[in-house]
Amino acid sequence: MDTAEDLFEKIKGIVQKDRRFQEDAYVFVLSSIDYALTKLAAPRHITGKELLTAIKEYGVQQYGPMTLTVLEFWGIQTTEDFGLIVFNLVDNGVLRKTETDSLDDFKDVYDLKETFKGNYN
């Protein structure tokens, strides 16, 4: 199991190879996974759509009306960007995927601008 220091080194390495997203975006995705897992009765693999739901909830919880601004600052424009982050983490041994997991699971699931425009009710 990686230590926190090992994990951050892996993330730094990913960002050096793929500069589309900032390091904080990777940490946010991993934190969103943890958030999603806390809502389950028992630990299990979560789907892309489940992760995207957790990202919505966790993002608003952490950043409130600034969520969209923060995501855009990190380089995230679409739900597919979260998938690209996840698969970078998979490719670098941080996360695992099942045979049915696909980048398509993250495509056009919701519009970030609409989702995070400030109506959190």
Kindly give the confidence (pLDDT) of every residue in the chain, 121 residues in length, as a single tens digit, with 9 standing for 90 and above. Answer: 578 899 999 999 999 999 999 999 999 999 999 999 999 999 999 999 999 999 999 999 999 999 999 999 999 999 999 999 999 999 999 999 999 999 999 999 999 999 998 655 4
Give which of 32, 33, 26 is closest to 7, Cα–Cα. Answer: 26
Contact at 8 Å (CB) between 87 and 31?
A: no
pTM of the model: 0.93
For 77-109, the DSSP string reads -SHHHHHHHHHHHHHTTSS---TT--GGGGTTS
> Distance between CA 106 and CA 79 in Å, rounded?
6
Return d(Cα 54, Cα 79) in angstroms, integer.
12
